[in-house]
Amino acid sequence: MKRDLLGRRLVVTGAARGIGEKVARLAAARGARVTVIGLEADRLRALADELGPAASWREADVRDGAALRSAIDEAAEAMGGIDLVVANAGVVAYGTVRQTDEASFERVLDINLNGVFRTLKYATPHLERSRGHVLVVASALSFMPLAAMASYGASKAGAELLALTYRQEVAHLGVTVGVVHPSWINTDLVRGAEADLPSFQDLRGRLPYPGNVTTSSDRAAAAIVDGLVRRRARVYVP
């Protein structure tokens, strides 16, 4: 295993499961100090315990600016700073614009877009000190509209433009910003969609590559961690 993140200090949001958990595990294996932030305290605690003394955890909802700011500040204090951030927290909901209720639409936007904004905002002072790098996890759906996924697509398109705007704003501070575009990754999110919506698999089968394949979360995590090492501006999975 390469140790190309040795001594680097990483914060991952949405780290209790899925891509975020895999990124934390791989980054720690490659030498990083890691703070995992999310909602499922038991899972976060178990993950940090498994990763050892180089890892810590904080429970915070990206919808709660005060809690998220405290978690990020505490992460910086525990690690002696922050070099890298993966803004990964995200959810999905299904339904057409005509059918989706307002609360569901607003929740997806608040987590997937506003949550990224809060993460970037409160990580910036720490990233400025380290001249660090951020990866914002957007989606292939940032630029591929798909019926019945309006809230998710809108949130991920917004997250991409937010990241690109933020890149311009912090360039003079030495902070660099990349955007991750995963397609369908084998996570709870995609497995749940396939279980809940029988038509989902049929729809995916009609899409051009890579919309018609599922990629492992390990492969997604490897691409993201390599993106951190190389300070990539774009990461596509696959």
Helices (DSSP H) in the chain: which residue ranges? 18-29, 41-51, 65-79, 102-109, 115-130, 150-170, 188-196, 198-205, 217-229
3-state secondary structure of 9: strand
DSSP state of 8: -
Band of the pLDDT at 180, cuts 50, 70, 90?
Answer: very high
The per-residue pLDDT for range 70-96, each reduced to its tens digit, is 999 999 999 999 999 999 999 999 899
As a whole number of angstroms, the distance between CA 184 and CA 238 comes to 9
**Fold that domain 9-230 belongs to in CATH:** Rossmann fold (3.40.50)
How many angstroms separate the CA atoms of 178 and 29, rounded? Answer: 22
pLDDT digits (tens, 9 = 90+) for 138-167: 999 999 888 889 999 999 999 999 999 999
Cβ-Cβ contacts under 8 Å for 52 (sequence gap 6 or more): 28
pLDDT of residue 182: 93
Distance CA 38, CA 16 (A): 6
Instruction: Return the bridge partners of 57, or none.
Output: 36
Q: What is the mean pLDDT of residues 226-235?
A: 98
190 or 37, higher pLDDT: 37
